[in-house]
């Protein structure tokens, strides 16, 4: 039977907190986990990322990006099952080195997969994630302020850039799970 790892991903220093709880196959390597976390947090995977596990850094293997001797280890070399076996309880995930979206990833529990359930899936979450390229935490705070005030002089321009209204309280585990199924090639 397949083992599932329950993870809580929290965007560090976001006030109020932005987080997602995911159930992910233990055989996912960190590269597959990156794609899952990226989608669950609403990112578009258009920037570099890195994992920090007990002081060891993991990321994509690309000699054109990492030109110094301290290049990160290949993210495909480690699975969630490896982390669980090693007793890792939490690790870092850094996405977009410019906007600096730092996440705390907590391993909450492991267990058998449920019959008939597609993994990965989101089982809970809180608040809408910041949009890609909004300028980090400070830009996100300004984005929310402008989007909340239709009379703000930059409101219409920012709404056009974003493509719709923004509800900071919006968070749908069902919508995130649907996106994760599509990303992983599942049905529905």
Q: What pLDDT is recorded for position 42?
A: 86
Model confidence pLDDT, tens digit, residues 104-133: 999 999 999 999 999 999 999 999 999 999
What would you measure as the largest C-alpha separation in the chain, in angstroms?
57
Q: What pLDDT is recorded for position 115?
A: 94
CATH second-level architecture of 3-127+171-183? Roll (3.10)
Q: Which DSSP category does 167 fall into?
A: -
Q: Report residue 188's pLDDT band, with 50, 70 and 90 as the boundaries.
A: very low
Of 18, 14, 2, 3, nearest to 110 (Cα)? Answer: 3
Q: Which residues on adjacent β-strands are paired with residue 122?
A: 22
Model confidence pLDDT, tens digit, residues 138-158: 999 999 999 999 999 999 999
Model confidence pLDDT, tens digit, residues 76-87: 999 999 999 999
Q: Report residue 74's pLDDT band, with 50, 70 and 90 as the boundaries.
A: confident
pTM of this prediction?
0.91
Task: Give the side-chain half-sphere CA count within 13 A for 152.
Answer: 15
Over range 71-97, report the average pLDDT.
94
DSSP assignment string, 6-62: EEEEEETT-SS--EEEEEEETT-BHHHHHHHHHHHTT--S-S-EEEEETTEEEE---
pLDDT of 94 over the 80 cut: yes
Model confidence pLDDT, tens digit, residues 32-59: 999 999 999 988 888 989 999 999 999 8
Domain spans, the chain: 3-127+171-183, 129-168
């Amino acid at each position: 039977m397949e083992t599932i790892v329950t993870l809580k991903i929290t965007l560090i220093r976001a006030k109020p907190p932005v987080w997602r709880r995911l159930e992910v196959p233990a055989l996912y390597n960190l590269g597959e986990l990156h794609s899952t976390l990226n989608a669950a947090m609403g990112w578009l995977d258009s920037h570099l990322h890195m994992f920090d596990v007990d002081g060891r850094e993991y990321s994509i293997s690309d000699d054109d990006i990492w030109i110094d001797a301290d290049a990160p280890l290949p993210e495909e070399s480690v699975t969630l099952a490896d982390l669980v076996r090693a007793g890792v309880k939490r690790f870092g995930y850094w996405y977009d080195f410019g906007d600096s979206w730092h996440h705390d990833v907590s391993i909450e529990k492991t267990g058998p997969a449920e019959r008939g359930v597609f993994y990965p899936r989101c089982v809970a979450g809180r608040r809408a994630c910041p949009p890609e390229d909004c300028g980090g935490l400070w830009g996100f705070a300004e984005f929310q302020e402008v989007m909340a005030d239709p009379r703000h002089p930059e409101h219409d321009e920012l709404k056009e850039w974003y493509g719709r209204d923004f509800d900071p309280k919006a968070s749908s585990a069902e919508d995130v799970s649907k996106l994760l199924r599509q990303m992983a090639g599942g049905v529905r």
